[in-house]
Each structure stands twice: as C-alpha cells, then as structure tokens.
Copies of this chain bind each other. A is one copy, B any other.
C-alpha cells in the first residue's frame, strides 16, 4: 500500500518522518486557518491517518504546544542576536501572519494548562530580553516594560489574523494593520510614566 505522499507504509518504523510531517502540516494549517482548524484536515495534509495523528498527539493542545515550542526555538535564535529590537519582534509577528495570533490565543485560553504555561514563560522571557536591550539603546520609552510589549504583540497579532483571514478587502485590513503598527510604534517609542 502507498500513502498519499507516495511513500510505502513502512510498518513499525516509519521513523520520525510521520511525526515531522504532522508538525509541518499543523504549522501551516494553524497559520492559515487559526487554532480551531479540524485535526482531520491536518492529518489529510500530512498524508497520515487520523489514528497516527492522535497517537502522536493525544489532543489539539498537545499538537499546538509541539508546534509552538518549535516555533519559539526559531524566535529565540533570532532574539539571541544583539541587533534584534522590539521593532524586529513586531515585524516577526506580522510576518508570521496567523501563527502568532494562534499562539497568543493558545496562551490566553489555556494559560493554566501545565503544558501551555512554559510557552508563556518563554515568550515573556523573550520580551524581557529585547525590551532591556532597547531601553538601554534608547529605542523605547523609559517606562516601557515587557508586559507592554506583550500587550502590543497581542493586539497586533489579532489584527494580523483578521488581515490574513480568507475574506474580504485585504486593502482596508492592510491599512488597518499598518495604522495599528504605527500607533504601537508611536506608543512604545514615547510611553510616559504612569
């Protein structure tokens, strides 16, 4: 028998290939359709039976955590460079389109879940590092804290998600996104004390 990708069923050891295919498909789907995409669709994209998907990832959360864990690895690599600024971070959010919103969704909706909480910690740590760096360089208002950057990311992510939804006049939404970004840049650049 051959599966959808033309690979023969290799029995007991399809190796890690199957798991990786699922992760890749999940990342793409989460990014395009949001966190609520049917898992069956992900399985189909990965060329894998639903059984395999549920065996590797018992539920949606497990899959999502795996995807974002991987994703944060990449972000941390970028942030490790000294030249990375808050603005770069926000660029990243906008580029990843719906992936960042999905992460934000996940974090807020399941922050009590033992598997999700560490993700939140990682995100917070990333924000801390970049804010500290920017504040030292004067790129950001003196009173800006990591939590402010997180708030900005949440807001921007939501708007970006809308803009990449399958619908409607992307022109208006792109305009909205640009304005939102400008507002946030302005705010972070000159945030007064409370």
Residues of A within 8 A of B (CB): 108-112, 147-148, 150-152, 154-156, 158-159, 162, 165, 167-169, 172-173, 175-177, 179-180, 182-184, 186-188, 190-192, 194
Contact = CB atoms under 8 A, between A and B. Distances in A.
B191 A186 contact: yes
A182 B194 contact: yes
Q: What is the total number of copies of this protein in its complex? A: 2
B147 A151 contact: no
A182 B176 contact: no
A182 to B, nearest CB: 7
A111 B172 contact: yes
A176 B115 CA distance: 22
Nearest to A183: B187
Nearest to A104: B162
A37 B177 CA distance: 27
Given A108-B165, A109-B165, A155-B155, 19 more contacts: A108-B173, A111-B168, A111-B172, A148-B179, A150-B176, A151-B176, A151-B177, A151-B183, A152-B180, A155-B159, A158-B158, A158-B159, A182-B191, A183-B183, A184-B187, A186-B187, A186-B191, A186-B192, A190-B190
A58 B182 CA distance: 41
Contacts of A147: 175-176, 179
B159 A179 contact: no
Nearest to A181: B151
A43 B155 CA distance: 33
A168 to B, nearest CB: 5
Q: Can you list the 5 inter-chain pairs with the closest CB atoms, starting with the nearest?
A: A158-B158, A155-B155, A187-B187, A183-B187, A151-B179
Q: Among the interface residues A111, A147, A151, A175, which one has the most CB atoms of the partner chain B within 10 A?
A: A151
25 contacts: A108-B173, A110-B167, A111-B169, A112-B167, A148-B179, A148-B183, A151-B176, A151-B177, A151-B180, A152-B180, A154-B159, A154-B162, A155-B158, A155-B159, A155-B180, A155-B183, A158-B159, A182-B187, A182-B191, A182-B194, A183-B187, A183-B188, A184-B187, A186-B191, A190-B190
